[in-house]
Structure 1
Amino acid sequence: MFCFQCEQTAGCTACTGAAGVCGKTADVARLQDDLTGTLVALARAESDGRGDTESDGLMLEGMFACVSNVSFDPKAIAALERRVRAKAISLGEFSSYDMRLLWDAQEDIRSLKSLLLFGMRGVAAYAYHAQALGKSDPVVAAFLYEGMRAVGSDLDMDELLPLVLKCGEVNLAAMAALEEANVSAYGKPEPATVELKVEAGPFIVVTGHDLHDLKQLLEQTEGRGVNVYTHGEMLPANAYPELRKYPHLKGNYGTAWHNQRKEFKDLPAPILWTTNCLLKPDESYADRVFATGPVSFPGAHVVEAGEDGAKDFSALIDKALELGGWDTDRTFAGINGGTSVTTGFGYDTVMSVAPAVIDAVKSGDIKRFILLAGCDGMRKERSYYTDFAKLAPSDSVILTLACGKYRFNDLDLGSIDGIPRLLDVGQCNDAYGAIKIALALADAFGCGVNDLPLSMVLSWYEQKAVCILLTLLHLGIRGIYLGPTLPAFVSPGVLQVLVDNYGIRPISTPEADLAQIMG
């Protein structure tokens, strides 16, 4: 196998053995390459850049299935590839692209094509979530065809660089569509304190990102005596009014995705796996895993969607009733010992206190805003983000989103003039809200984003983080700190371009980086 799309790739170079660090086998990696090559064929078949509904859906589903930690089932991936191939053949395209041509390409070309491909996988993931709620953007769909044709074409660096930045621009549109879809369906997020506690009795844990799946589950568990708890990136669901109105959505269990094996072992409840940020389940709880959407594991219970998108979770609910949960209430703690966390500080909430924020900046009470955000992962170096939050000066405000916040979101950092020093904007899917906050603050102060007292310290793991980074570059944002390691697929030549044009820098130590940030 050859795979270097995630942050934890072996030796920070590439996974090339019988299995990747994530747990996927060489067979799965090969089948994902086959699927990607066939998606290139589909993009060539839709050469006018406007696919039909079936092609658009296959493009999103196929690209999402190749995101890190989504699908580990060779049969499911092979079946999806056959569906894409059949569609391409029906449109007159018979030849798929051999991904070895990409992996063996000249270093900088391989780097830029990989940056484009992995970024598009992230875009497809956001578009997939929006599509589940009936929201799509033809600009996004058209670009995925354009970008996939570019992956399979003989292009030079000058031709690829604009496409990489265009990926960031299109991702902004994809995230905007997703935010509109979420707010229309579930209301505007509101600040919420979420207890890290599980009550006695039957319950279900929901992990991943998909709010549509959670909403259907809440509807079907109503009145059944089964409580529901979020996990990982599902935590911000507790901030949406149309989800919080269900009294049996009780709170959050556990922390970030990479702790699943520890947190799900001996859990007397089933787990619903939606979308990505998943680990191949340990045998101790594999029989309690229910997968839906693009998620696939050999032997997992699969909940399929009907033609109208509805899903029947009755088997999952029956399993929760059978297992029964714990006999007594149990309180858990975050990695720093806290027993509750806050979330729901989206764009509208932050803008509602914008005058107070502006006054605090002008008075000197707030010296710096720091976007400390991104993915979590297993490397011990990620303790950097915990230490950074603890060391951040008391006159700084930290905005956060995505699962990297579990490194510090149970800390009590206090407030400044009534403004909490830690503001959780939401999922990685909610990055658009953080971008809007930055742009609104720049407008309020009459300056550019790069002139704000704002620093961005990001952690990355998978491809949604890649497309968010490309969006920030598209917006011209400079001086981003990135860690815990730089992407293996970014060649020295391409890295130099990013450094020269955008001032991207690797993280060093919290003390050194904070000294530089705070001036």
Structure 2
Amino acid sequence: MENKMFCYQCQETAGNTGCTQSGVCGKKPEVAAMQDLLIFVSKGISAVTTCLRNEGKKIDPAINHLITLNLFTTITNANFDEEAIVARIFDTLNAKKELLVQLSNTASLPEAALWDETARVNFSSKAAEVGVLSTKDEDVRSLRELITYGLKGLSAYSKHANALLKDDEDVDAFLQSALAKTLDDSLSLNDLVALTLETGKYGVNGMALLDNANTTTYGNPEITTVKIGVGNRPGILVSGHDLRDMEMLLKQTEGTGVDIYTHSEMLPAHYYPAFKKYNHFVGNYGNAWWKQKEEFETFNGPILMTTNCIVPPKESYKDRLYTTGAAGFPGCKHIAGEIGEEKDFSAIIEHAKKCAAPTEIESGEIVGGFAHNQVLALADTVVGAVKSGAIKKFVVMAGCDGRAKSRNYYTDFASALPKDTVILTAGCAKYRYNKLDLGDIGGIPRVLDAGQCNDSYSLAVIALKLKEVFDLDDINELPIVYNIAWYEQKAVIVLLALLYLGVKDIHLGPTLPGFLSANVAKVLVENFGIAPIGTVEDDIKLFFDEEENDDSRVSVSGITADSLIGDILLQYPDTAPILMSCGMHCLGCPSSQMESLADACMVHGIDVNIVLNQLNAFVTQNN
């Protein structure tokens, strides 16, 4: 990574100030440069607010909201509008000026806190100085980016909670102090690793804040059947994550003859009781965000992007694409409105009335609404299924989807899962398998959709509750496998939150994040068991080969994965050389003879099926 960086917009190699593959993600280098500068000034004002807090002074919530929205504006595929980003830079510089005069001592502030510029023409040269590669040490740069991406994810949770008039000063204070620390050259690699885990801690707090905001405002999500067909009236398609925007639009479209549909991450809005009273809230249209170009084309009506993820629109429907909040795209109409204000959606509503009804692209229904409150209400049923053996394992397959063909892995993996396995999901990764006919286990659907990536908190709550119910000391003792698809910053904060909670052996795909240096990746692998995905076949074996009902472990000889080493040697003493050739050199030890073959193979890092095949072949040939 000496002369390149990893573009978090499209996962391609990029230059210092942006993605060189603008045809892939659509983020032009000059826009990415202004994002770099917006992050820089956000770090600068955060250093000022952190010093003010250290002096015992309170920070106006409006300043907290400013910094949070700045970060959210730079999140993957949220805002492509260079001038909108520049306006936020000026707003931040002006706010910082007012804060600086309140400080008793500015001597210890970093350069970012003191930088001031009133000439727009000088922004580009400054952006070139403060891009990702301004940090020369690869490992320091990697950790700073990991923290920054996590903070961007945290900003998303905070912003949505703020929209519902919920704030957490502790979360805001941490976010700003952590941003400031990414400028601190005195911090060691160990300090940055500790800060990374602390970011995960506040990621949990931020998710809890948003969960409380959503559920106290709209009720707890409940099991819901959502139609994926269309009606015969014109509609507005809503994408993104902002439930407050959805609420305002539903109210303003009542009685207008316009139907409301969800797309991608907005699907879980259907699960909230408060939205079910709107008869014109009719269903979900389409799939994950990256299929926008074909699905927005056939929808026929206007589309409202409340947050990320925007795919640069085709000219054929660009005039129908509206943005609001942190989202923006040049040439598309933006609907204004600050926190606490009622937005005016009349323009998009009038536009919808002139459009044809959506073209049907599929039909049927999907089921969701399995957030933590709903799953815990079914706790007795779920626990009973686990205790009876009807459910052998849960697989957390949360995260993000993307256009890469390698992500077909998740469809194939879900299809190949043992029938006694239940998927726990949140985020748009679910579109890889939520329409498969995977059936149920005793009435429990094999895909339990908790909601948006914003709702990943539910997956943590469910795991912690199961740990309590089964009276376990370690969350890793649960029959849960983590196979997560990552793409953007909210996936990063979910990962850091899980690491903070002590979850180990998480598998990430399609690849490990490219902004991780070799040394940082090594730390994650050695300390937390982070690993990339493999092939579907190999991963199914890895995650499920210890199951007692795996037929591949049974042979005509009677040796199975559960056979004790002592019993094997007693019945087939000539198999000792085979076991010793696999590294089992202490066969005479009584404790070793009491181990099962599966346990012995696990200790020695050997695939039990390979050993079984060798034993079975030998016994068959010699008996």
Using structure 1 for the length normalisation, give the TM-score: 0.95
Q: Does 1:35 align with 2:38?
A: yes
In the TM superposition, what whole-angstrom CA distance separates every residue of 1:199-243 from its partner, at most 9, and x where no partner exists?
012110000111110010000000111000000000011110101
Q: Deviation of residue 100 (structure 1)?
A: 3.6
CA distance in 2: counterparts of 1:94 and 1:374, whole angstroms: 38
Quick one: structure 1 residues 12 and 99, their matched pair in 2 at CA, closer, same or farther if it must change by over 3 Å? Answer: closer
Equivalence for 2:393: 368
Q: Deviation of residue 8 (structure 1)?
A: 3.4
Equivalence for 2:162: 131
> In percent, how many aligned pairs have the same letter?
43
Q: Deviation of residue 322 (structure 1)?
A: 1.1
Report the 3-state secondary structure (helix = DSSP H, G, I; strand = E; otherwise coil) of the residue aligned with 1:458. Answer: strand
Q: Deviation of residue 91 (structure 1)?
A: 1.8
Equivalence for 1:427: 452
Report the 3-state secondary structure (helix = DSSP H, G, I; strand = E; otherwise coil) of the residue aligned with 1:265. Answer: helix
AA paired with 1:234?
Answer: M
1:34-433 pair list within 5 angstroms: 34-46=37-49, 47-49=51-53, 51-92=59-100, 93-95=113-115, 98-100=129-131, 102-154=133-185, 155-305=187-337, 308-326=340-358, 331-333=360-362, 339-433=364-458
Q: Does 1:502 align with 2:534?
A: no
CA distance in 1: counterparts of 2:298 and 2:390, whole angstroms: 47
Report the 3-state secondary structure (helix = DSSP H, G, I; strand = E; otherwise coil) of the residue aligned with 1:312. Answer: coil
In the TM superposition, what whole-angstrom CA distance separates every residue of 1:172-194 from its partner, at most 9, and x where no partner exists?
11100100000011111111111
Q: Deviation of residue 416 (structure 1)?
A: 1.2
Q: Deviation of residue 11 (structure 1)?
A: 4.7
CA distance in 2: counterparts of 1:7 and 1:441, whole angstroms: 36
Greater Cα shift, 23-32 or 358-367 = 358-367
Quick one: structure 1 residues 105 and 11, their matched pair in 2 at CA, closer, same or farther if it must change by over 3 Å? Answer: closer
AA paired with 2:236?
Answer: I
CA distance in 2: counterparts of 1:393 and 1:280, whole angstroms: 39
Equivalence for 1:493: 519
Greater Cα shift, 148-157 or 86-95 = 86-95
CA distance in 1: counterparts of 2:513 and 2:338, whole angstroms: 39
In the TM superposition, what whole-angstrom CA distance separates every residue of 1:322-353 from its partner, at most 9, and x where no partner exists?
11325xxx5433xxxx7321110111111112
CA distance in 2: counterparts of 1:409 and 1:261, whole angstroms: 21
Greater RCO, CA 8 A, separation 6+: 1
CA distance in 2: counterparts of 1:293 and 1:473, whole angstroms: 31
CA distance in 2: counterparts of 1:197 and 1:434, whole angstroms: 29
In the TM superposition, what whole-angstrom CA distance separates every residue of 1:421-478 from its partner, at most 9, and x where no partner exists?
1111110010111110000001100112100010011001100100110000111100
8 A Cα contact 1:5 1:462, kept in partner: no
8 A Cα contact 1:3 1:20, kept in partner: no
CA distance in 1: counterparts of 2:330 and 2:360, whole angstroms: 33
* From 479, 482, 493, the counterpart of 1:456: 482
Q: Deviation of residue 12 (structure 1)?
A: 9.1
In the TM superposition, what whole-angstrom CA distance separates every residue of 1:397-427 from its partner, at most 9, and x where no partner exists?
1111100100110112111122111111110
Q: Deviation of residue 45 (structure 1)?
A: 1.4
CA distance in 2: counterparts of 1:292 and 1:339, whole angstroms: 31
Quick one: structure 1 residues 125 and 481, their matched pair in 2 at CA, closer, same or farther if it must change by over 3 Å? Answer: same
AA paired with 1:91?
Answer: L
Quick one: structure 1 residues 172 and 13, their matched pair in 2 at CA, closer, same or farther if it must change by over 3 Å? Answer: farther
8 A Cα contact 2:19 2:32, kept in partner: no
CA distance in 2: counterparts of 1:2 and 1:221, whole angstroms: 48
8 A Cα contact 1:267 1:285, kept in partner: no
CA distance in 2: counterparts of 1:382 and 1:451, whole angstroms: 28
Quick one: structure 1 residues 297 and 3, their matched pair in 2 at CA, closer, same or farther if it must change by over 3 Å? Answer: farther
AA paired with 2:493?
Answer: C
AA paired with 1:478?
Answer: K
Q: How many residues are paired up?
A: 512
Q: Deviation of residue 306 (structure 1)?
A: 5.3
Q: Deviation of residue 94 (structure 1)?
A: 2.8
Gap runs ≥5 in structure 1: none
CA RMSD of aligned residues (A): 1.8
In the TM superposition, what whole-angstrom CA distance separates every residue of 1:88-125 from its partner, at most 9, and x where no partner exists?
12222432795247544211000000001110011001
CA distance in 1: counterparts of 2:68 and 2:238, whole angstroms: 22
8 A Cα contact 2:9 2:77, kept in partner: no
8 A Cα contact 1:209 1:427, kept in partner: yes
CA distance in 2: counterparts of 1:101 and 1:467, whole angstroms: 19
AA paired with 1:406?
Answer: Y
Quick one: structure 1 residues 86 and 201, their matched pair in 2 at CA, closer, same or farther if it must change by over 3 Å? Answer: same
Q: Deviation of residue 308 (structure 1)?
A: 3.7
Report the 3-state secondary structure (helix = DSSP H, G, I; strand = E; otherwise coil) of the residue aligned with 2:310. Answer: coil
CA distance in 1: counterparts of 2:488 and 2:333, whole angstroms: 25
Q: Deviation of residue 41 (structure 1)?
A: 1.2
Equivalence for 1:466: 492
8 A Cα contact 1:346 1:433, kept in partner: yes
Gap runs ≥5 in structure 2: 101-112, 117-125, 547-623
CA distance in 2: counterparts of 1:3 and 1:132, whole angstroms: 34
CA distance in 2: counterparts of 1:235 and 1:197, whole angstroms: 13
AA paired with 2:288?
Answer: A
CA distance in 1: counterparts of 2:231 and 2:466, whole angstroms: 41
CA distance in 1: counterparts of 2:526 and 2:15, whole angstroms: 23
AA paired with 2:243?
Answer: L
Greater Cα shift, 124-133 or 18-27 = 18-27
Report the 3-state secondary structure (helix = DSSP H, G, I; strand = E; otherwise coil) of the residue aligned with 1:198. Answer: coil
CA distance in 2: counterparts of 1:102 and 1:116, whole angstroms: 15
Report the 3-state secondary structure (helix = DSSP H, G, I; strand = E; otherwise coil) of the residue aligned with 1:345. Answer: coil
AA paired with 2:183?
Answer: G
Report the 3-state secondary structure (helix = DSSP H, G, I; strand = E; otherwise coil) of the residue aligned with 2:516. Answer: coil
Equivalence for 1:443: 468
8 A Cα contact 2:13 2:20, kept in partner: no
